Chain A
Amino acid sequence: MPLYAALIYSEEGGEASPEEWSKVMAEYNEFSAKAGAAGVIQGGEALEETTTATTVHVKGGKGGEAVHTDGPFAETKEALGGFYLLKCADLDEALGWAAQIPGAWRGRVEVRPCVDFSQAQ
């Protein structure tokens, strides 16, 4: 069966009230229960806000110097072309792998941490 990536865009930065937050969570729980029961969901993660993002670009092709920029990828002519989910000990390890993705020299790779729901927030 074909696979599809469903990419979720939403407004951020606002301090949602606890009521609003639990309403959003309830809606997501409802969707994942339904789509999970239907066997549709193959994986998924919530991402931390773009202020936690680091964008990697490798200058001069494979193996070149990795340049890091604080913040998300500011869209210009490149478009989202794919993603990997990396399990790494820390950001340095993740950035090290990201710099080896061909997209890092052919374009940019934005590295964003996933929300860790096991940690008390």
Chain B
Amino acid sequence: MTLGETIRIEGGRVLATLIRFTGDIGLAEDALQEATIVALERWTTDGVPAHPAAWLTAVARNKALDRIRRDARRRDKEIEAHYERPFEMEEDDSLRLIFTCAHPALSMEARIGLTLRLVGGLKTSEIAGLFLVPEATVGQRISRAKKKIALARIPYRVPSPHELPDRLAGVLAVIYLIFTTGHHAFEGPLDSRFDLAAEAIRLGRLLVGLMPDEPEALGLLALMLATTARQRARLDEHGDIVLLADQDRSLWDLKAINEASLLIEKALRRRRVGPYQIQGAIACLHGQARSDAETDWRQISDLYRFLESFNDGPVIRVNRAVAESKVFGPEAGLELLEGISGVDSWHLYWSTRADFLRQLGREAEAAVAYRSALAMNMNDADRRFLERRLASLSLA
């Protein structure tokens, strides 16, 4: 591991402790920055200490105190209070930081930006690059969120047990949104932002390490691992989409699928099923099937039906329709698509519909649905795929 990587990985934990110690995110970041500069000099000559995080924390704590003392607006009493505050790293510091970054009083964009910046240790410019938004926009979102945390006094703590289910769902949603944004790019080449998916998996692992008994945290990590396991097989040499049924399964990452399956088994033993565990289980069933024909579509469609009892949104309904069509035929799939609302501008709804119509030989209607899909925004690979499908219809 390079010095820079060590610092980035340890930095998150150190920052989490420093924020508790200083009660000021900006001050904690500055102190860590200064300590990092010292560390890079010292470690290059003396080698990395046995406990780099503790080393960084101690140096950064003194840097923070120097700043507090230099700050003429602060009163002596406040400085004394800081001296008395315990500064040892606590196990819960990283969780405090994660829950603060994903606080429901912040906008989703702010939660994502803060989580990547403070927990993930990414630079503002890196976040801007991954989300294809100007650096100034990301910087402004993050600084505004930090200001709100300070002025509105968003607490720095792990939620109490009765709040935990809701608040944990919020944290998982932030990580999963980072993942899906990276795994399936909305614009440009499909794989163009895969670094984001990798970052989300890193965050997912961190969370599982901190909350090993939370089955939904295990479920989310399993879902992300089993989904990215198919990464290398989903595009051909031209960058075109290869459908799940046609993928070369020898390209799948079996190690990741096995890890995901073990995580799901461990999660299910806790007997607190939730939407991420179900989706993780579905992704594992796909991963374990040696061919499309051997896929347990019946169990997958049952799992989607179960998933709908947690979340009856259109995305799950469309996925369930695909699974049911594999068991009961395209007619059944089409029937499930009827009556979904709020999907008119979602290209995957239209392309799924088009595919059912195509299988039923209703080509004129299929062509209309493909054209509706193509009228929407999507990445390049999805677009080329739909154009090929449309062209393959005999009357198109």
Q: Are B154 and A90 in contact (CB under 8 A)?
A: yes
A121 to B73 Cα, complex, angstroms: 8
Residues of B within 8 A of A53 (CB): 152
Checking A54, A89, A121 against B105 with a beta-carbon cut-off of 8 angstroms, the contacting residue is: A54
Chain B residues within an 8 Å CB radius of A90: 153-155
Report B-chain residues with C-beta under 8 Å of the C-beta of A51. 144, 147-148
Interface 1/0 per residue, B76-111 and A, CB below 8 Å: 000000000000000000000000000011110010
A54 touching B110, Cβ below 8 Å: no
Within 8 A of B (CB), among A82-97: 89-92, 95
- CB pair A113 B152 closer than 8 Å: yes
A101–B106 CA distance with the chains assembled, in angstroms:
21
Contact at B152–A91, with CB atoms within 8 Å? yes
Contacting pair B152 A92 (CB below 8 A): no
Across the interface, do A68 and B105 meet the contact criterion of CB distance under 8 Å?
A: yes
Interface residues on A, range: 10 to 19
Q: Does any Cβ of B come within 8 Å of A71's Cβ?
A: yes
A56, closest chain B residue (CB): B105
Within 8 Å of chain B (Cβ to Cβ): is A30? no
Task: Tell yes or no: A48 within 8 A of B by CB.
Answer: yes
Given contacts A54-B105, A120-B73, A120-B74, contact A70 B151 (CB under 8 A): no
Q: How far is the CB of A73 from chain B (nearest CB, A)?
A: 14
User: What is the CA–CA distance of A92 and B152 in the complex, to the nearest angstrom?
Assistant: 10
Contact B73 A70 (CB under 8 A): no
A52 to B155: give the CA distance in the assembly, Å.
Answer: 14
- Cβ of B107 and Cβ of A71 under 8 Å apart? yes
Known: A52-B147, A70-B110, A120-B73. Is A95-B153 also a contact (CB below 8 A)?
no
Known: A51-B144, A70-B110, A120-B74. A113 touches B151 (CB 8 A): yes
User: Are A70 and B152 interface neighbours, CB within 8 A?
Assistant: no
| Nearest-Cβ distance from residue A57 to partner chain B, whole angstroms | 12
Residues of chain A lying within 8 A (CB to CB) of residue B74: 120
Do A92 and B155 touch (CB < 8 A)?
yes
The interface bits of chain B over 282-307 (1 if a CB of A lies within 8 angstroms of the residue's CB, else 0) are: 00000000000000000000000000
CA distance A77 to B110 in the complex (A): 28
Query: B39-73 vs A: 1/0 string, CB under 8 Å?
Result: 00000000000000000000000000000000001
Chain A residues with Cβ below 8 Å from B144 are: 51
Of all chain B residues, which has the CB nearest A55?
B105
A54 and B155 contact, CB distance less than 8 A: no
Taking beta carbons and an 8 Å cutoff, which residues of A are in contact with B? 48, 51-54, 68, 70-71, 89-92, 95, 111-113, 120-121
The 5 listed contacts between A and B (C-beta, < 8 Å) are A53-B152, A68-B105, A89-B155, A91-B155, A92-B155
